[in-house]
Copies of this chain bind each other. A is one copy, B any other.
């Protein structure tokens, strides 16, 4: 574990549960074909980028949720809504951010994202 990995891992733990953070690193599902992907995510995405000063975690999470919803990336929409809740975004704030996207990306991608958000909230027994 180099310094960037440690910094990235510390940052990840702000976005996910301790258990999830450990699982991400110790049971990397793509380890057999691309072990360096996880390393890149921890070191670059979390160590170099998420850990930067100048923008709070909730805003970073909002930005990332918006990006993956705009791309129509379903698995990442679920992942980052979950992480957004973990850093303190409320279900209401997440729903409002998704509705704010309607005039910019249209109903289809927002509707698909709200369906995923609903599933995350139900699993966590959260209400809006």
User: A residues within 8 Å of B by Cβ?
Assistant: 29-30, 32-34, 36-37, 40-41, 43-45, 48-50, 52, 54-55, 59-60, 62-64, 66-68, 70-73, 75-76, 91-93, 95-112, 114-115, 117-118, 121, 127-128
Interface of A: prevailing SS: helix
Q: Taking the full assembly, how many copies of this chain does it contain?
A: 6
Judge whether B33 and A40 touch: CB under 8 Å: no
Q: Which 10 A-B pairs have the closest CB atoms?
A: A55-B96, A45-B103, A66-B66, A70-B70, A73-B108, A76-B108, A54-B96, A67-B104, A104-B106, A33-B128
A15-B45 Cα distance, complex, nearest whole Å: 25
**Chain B positions within 8 Å of A49 at CB level:** 40, 99-100, 102-103
Judge whether B33 and A101 touch: CB under 8 Å: no
A113-B36 Cα distance, complex, nearest whole Å: 15
User: Told that A55-B96, A62-B63 touch, could you supply 9 new A-B pairs with CB distance under 8 A?
Assistant: A37-B114, A40-B102, A44-B44, A52-B100, A59-B93, A64-B100, A66-B67, A72-B73, A73-B108
